[in-house]
Amino acid sequence: MPERIEPCLALLTAKPPKGPDWAYEVKWDGYRVHVHSELGGNIRILTRGGHDWTHRFPAIEKAALELGPATMILDGEVVVLDEQGRSDFNALVASLGGRGGKKVATDTVLYAFDLLYLDGHDLSKLSLEERRMLLDPLLEKAAGAIRLSEMLVTDGAALFATACELGLEGIVAKRLDAPYRSGRGGEWRKIKCVQSDTFVVVGYEPSTSSPGAIASLLLGARKGDALVYVGSVGTGFTDRDARELMDRLNAMRTKRPAVAVKGKSLVFVEPILAAEIEYRAWTGDGKLRHASYKGLRDAEDTTDVYIFEG
């Protein structure tokens, strides 16, 4: 069994691809992980960045042990579900104790959507259709902390419209004939109902009405080897969030801003934190429109910071 496999990543596109070569799944909003089930009942739950978080997801570890003596690597998304069965990223972050938190999350579920290794066999060179033929019966009766993410061969546009009506984040389209390739090669594509991406926190504006709290976060995106300013976000966090963010960011203050932005009351910080931001569109000058804060990403998730191409 390989020690670690770099995950296959989905390319963001505006519309679902068409044709019989594509199948579709719900897009889950959580933390991407690989679950390694090894000989002797050893379970490892690795984040996208390769960090071992087995101890933080005991229910998923237990469910993996209960799948049987098989050695395997499952690919999936750890989520916390709301009352309507939708993934809730804010609830997941809170369950883990916030960014940098050390809590053990007991209410998480893994939605598995791929099988990369099984009983001594590397499955990555098989087509997705073949891999799912092995994964689906393995999890067909699973209903606990590990569940099967259903894959549908249907009309992608119609499924996307339904997902948006139900308040889901979007869908993922995958080529049925493609092997498992690490990186963002285009065999997997994500289509979002509402845009949601990861941006670097480069500073904040203090609140004038609530001393000790922030009014907004200043955000940056990657452009080549540098960062560019893409606007601020002043909604989506509670009063408690606003105070905790100020405390955390004050420990990272710097006099040299990481992006070009001016303002009398702005406070700049080292660009080492990233936040998940929901937004509706981009303005003509490259700023986020109708942005809303969803939560801080952990350090191992900052590899997916938005790449600005404007």
- Residues assigned a catalytic role: 27
CA dist., res. 215 & res. 204, Å (int): 7
* Element containing residue 170 per DSSP (H, E): strand 170-175
- Nearest to residue 56, comparing CAs of 100, 96, 93, 92? 96
What DSSP letter does each residue of 12-77 carry, written as one string?
Answer: E-SS---STTEEEEE---SEEEEEEEETTTEEEEEETTS-B-GGG-HHHHHHHHHT-S--EEEEEE
Phi and psi at 183, nearest 5°, equal: 95, -170
| 8 A C-beta contact, residue 275 and residue 258 | no
Q: Which two tokens stand for residue 288?
A: 């986020």
Phi and psi at 95, nearest 5°, equal: -60, -30
| 8 A C-beta contact, residue 118 and residue 133 | no
CA dist., res. 106 & res. 101, Å (int): 14
Hey, which residues does 90 pair with through a beta bridge?
none
Q: What is the dihedral of CA 60, 138, 10, 85, to 10 degrees?
A: -60
Hey, which residues does 147 pair with through a beta bridge?
111
The identity of residue 71, as a single letter, is T
- Residue 228, CA distances (Å) to 125, 167, 266, 304 in order: 39, 31, 16, 15
